[in-house]
Structure 1
Amino acid sequence: MSRSRIPGLNRLFPSASSAESLRIGEILRKETVGGFLLVALAVVALVWANSPWAETYFAIRDFELGYEPWHLRLSVGAWAADGLLAIFFFLVGLELKREFVSGDLRQFSTAIVPIVAAVGGVAVPAIIYLAVVARSAEASRGWAIPTATDIAFAVAVLAVIGSHLPSALRIFLLTLAVVDDLIAIGIIALFYTETVEVVPLLLALVVIAVYGAIAQLYRRFFHLQPTAAWLILLPIGVVAWALLHASGIHATIAGVLLGFTIPVLHKRAERGPEAGPGLAEVFEHRFRPLSAGFAVPVFAFFSAGVAIGGAEGFVSAFSDPIVLGIVLALVLGKPLGITVATWAITRIRRIDLDPALRWLDIIGVGILAGIGFTVSLLVAELSFAPGSEAHGHAKVAILTASVLAAAAASVILGVRNRRYRAADSRRV
């Protein structure tokens, strides 16, 4: 039988297995709750930062605590960005590994589409931003700001407007966002690390290697159950984070590296009732609620607060090329890059769009991916000096672009959702 006649093999989004669909659905539910908390706390921070009590907000955000000799004397806002987001990126690394080891992306033919789409969604916004700010060398430092997608925020919007959209689109958005964030953290490591302290870096790598060895051998060599192993691994992970932070590399990268070391059971592995959950499942069960319900919303609270200066200040900010570049890159560049890259890879690989989907669905998801927010705010913190005009304008642009992308995606995907709901009712 020829390849083109094998059902589902050359589809853009082949149907996920039932187990994978259930797992992804559980992740999306937790990220949805986190997305609503994220938006709520970001709004509170923005209102507070522009209220008569703004000094209190900035005093709390800038209050320093920690231990100076270990380079851990940080402001509360920095602790949120460097510390709490490490939990989020640990789950990003863990989720990506699970997808490629035991998920439906373990096959190259399935994985290549969201990976290429994510690359397109990173490259095109960066090019658009650099074209807009071409005359300013300082502004060009923010080229990576519009490259990321906020998983929690985007999923929260999708949950509100897309109850009848195909599950394949939800899986595509989640995978796209995870790969997108992994690319963003790689960009931070390569382009936003100015100086590196060799000794702390080497020590961090040694500790990560020890962490990985224990994670891989905890059951066979140490005779530990997963629920006991994570109690041992947690303090080792904290040490690795502290050492990587002291090296000058952004500490959130420790989260990704540690996530990659966690063993993931293959979906076809024999797992009797006595085996219980694997270490990856235990970590995800314990840390995803912490990430979605606390770490990311708290980071958003301390990062979204920017003094806009009223309606006049908001309007004047758009005279800054940084603002225009970020807004255009996220709202237009993201969907353009994702859609064109997806179309190109389907033509090259001779993959057909599933009959249940339309290219308008892909465009809608591309627009939804223009919600940068969490990682975009993190990159803005690294791109421009805190308190500078460029720093404040970048945050204004991220918030504006995220709202515009959410609104535009709600219109398109809302229409598509009604079409799918009508089709479902006719089948019933």
Structure 2
Amino acid sequence: MDRLTCTLRRLSGIALAFAGLATGCGDDGAAPGVTGPPPTTGTTTGTTGGTTGGSTGVDSFGSAGGSSGSSTGAPPMLEVDCNMPPLGAVGATYDHTFLASGAMGSPTFSAVGLPPGLVLNPVTGQVTGTATAEGTYDVEVTAATGGAMGATGMATCTIEIAPALGVDLSGLAAPCLGPDDDLLSFLTGGNGAPVTCSTPGGTGNGTPPAGIAVDPDTCAITGTLAETRYGTFVWMTRVEQQGAYAWVPQCVTNATPEPGSYTMEVDHEGQMDAALVPGRGTFTAGQPIAYGAAAGDPLFRIIGGCAPNACYYGYAYGISASPFDADTLTLAPASLLSDPMGNKLGMTHELSISGPAVPAAFEGRIWLLHLTFDYCLAPDAATCSGVDAIKQNGKGKLVYDVVMFPAP
């Protein structure tokens, strides 16, 4: 009975030893000095939490164990900060820097989907350049560090590119902005940054007349016109915004002829007696340019200085540099102007001028032709003979500027 009990205890001891408990059995059933199953051992390595650790243990008839070891975790994550990309615009310089944080070492940046014309500095995360196409661009920005503890981060950053800086004068009767017009309110496109204005002059630009200037910050016309010539003086103001330019025609008018002046009238572009309104023309890039090609448009009438039965006239003109070919300018046909009774009233003439296709620098911008006329009318031929005599004896001084717009 005691042997059977001992045997059962041995079996129980084996089972309990596998359960990690201590037991034993001797021949007398009291189980002194009997050893159970051999000890068990194990090692575990993992990648958790970014730390290293493991366990080894021995269990024999009771419990005995400890822990030691190491494991390698996943690399820490970089956080990419879009840093609120500013609004860009076609033709304007762009400058913005993406940021990254959360890991040791300096990250290297890369980007997919940048607007055309912009490039990324992989070392600094700075985006620079001049955008060439408007639109909304979702840019995938990645930052990564190297080495055993390398980290990676990514973000989608949206860059908005607005249309190029420009000007819209379509709602105006005149092709230029006067002293009462707020130039800034006519600007279109651009990135909203402050602008500066200047009047550089040169080919196709004209210059402000004597006494007139343009404020560089507000773009407002300042000063008092010191010219006595009749008509409207136009010049091109250059508006700059972060490297982008728009050319805007500004103007001032002298509506008071000199004392004793002839009557000077101009019909053009469907407007009658519109000498104080500058001419307006259009051109197409790559095509020859022309103004006044239609018969009778523009038409100039200069009245005064004649005797009823005798009238002689002369005129001189000045022309500014522009894409037009000055050698093609003509005032023909020019003739005497009479009333229905045949009495001599003055003279009349037309205007036409042409040129080759504009240079590339003018293809997408507004430019102008500045013209001045000096008229002389008299009952005799000698009074108006020659340029000097015309300017000294004549009583008609007119400015007529033509503003040329790119075709829509």
TM class by shorter chain equals: under 0.3
Structure 1 or 2: more helix by fraction: 1
For the pair shown, which has the larger CA radius of gyration, 1 or 2? 2
**TM-score relative to the length of structure 1:** 0.22
Structure 1 or 2: more strand by fraction: 2
The structure whose RCO (Cα within 8 Å, separation 6+) is larger is 1
